[in-house]
Amino acid sequence: MSPDKQDVLYGTLGLMVLKTLEALGPLHGYRIARRIEQISGNELALNQGTLYPALLKLEQAAWIASAWKESESGRRVKVYALTKAGRQHLRTEEAAWQHATGIVARFFKIQEDVS
């Protein structure tokens, strides 16, 4: 792995999973991992193993639901899907995230202005 890759920001992995599921519909673990890596332009060093505890936590909170299904390659895989509660949670989190990054962005902007 190249050293310039970023570690996944703590706590954002769940959000990425939810967003992925919202965009692509039900997926199994490997597809979710690949999708996150692709979206980030392979700039995120996702330790794919860490995805599973994150999925479990999301499921425990009932934001996603899982079911065993057949994959395109004919394997039995656990497919995760966004629930109604998950969709709602994603929206509030998204708004909060935008808000927070907006504030931070403004700070960076001010610094540029000063310099």
Cβ proximity to other proteins: between 78 and 94 the closer is 78
The half-sphere exposure of 81 on its side-chain side, counting CA atoms within 13 A, is 9
SS3 label, residue 49: helix
Binding of residue 29 to other proteins (CB under 8 A) = yes
Query: Which one among 30, 91, 106, 109 touches other proteins, defined by CB under 8 A?
Result: 30
Cβ proximity to other proteins: between 19 and 79 the closer is 79
Tell me which residues in 63-82 interact with other proteins (CB under 8 A): 71, 73, 75-78
- Distant-in-sequence, close-in-space partners of 64: CB < 8 Å, separation ≥ 6: 17, 18, 21, 55, 58, 80, 81, 82, 83, 86
| Distance, CA of 59 to chain centre | 14
Q: Report residue 77 as tokens.
A: 């895989």
Query: Which one among 38, 42, 47, 98 touches other proteins, defined by CB under 8 A?
Result: 47
Stretch that binds other proteins, among 2-10, 15-23, 45-53, 106-114 (CB under 8 A): 45-53
Query: Which one among 8, 26, 40, 59 touches other proteins, defined by CB under 8 A?
Result: 59
| Alpha carbon separation from 85 to 17, 50, 55, 81 (Å, rounded) | 14, 23, 15, 11
Interface contacts to other proteins, rule CB under 8 A: 28-30, 33-34, 47-50, 52-53, 56-57, 59-62, 71, 73, 75-78
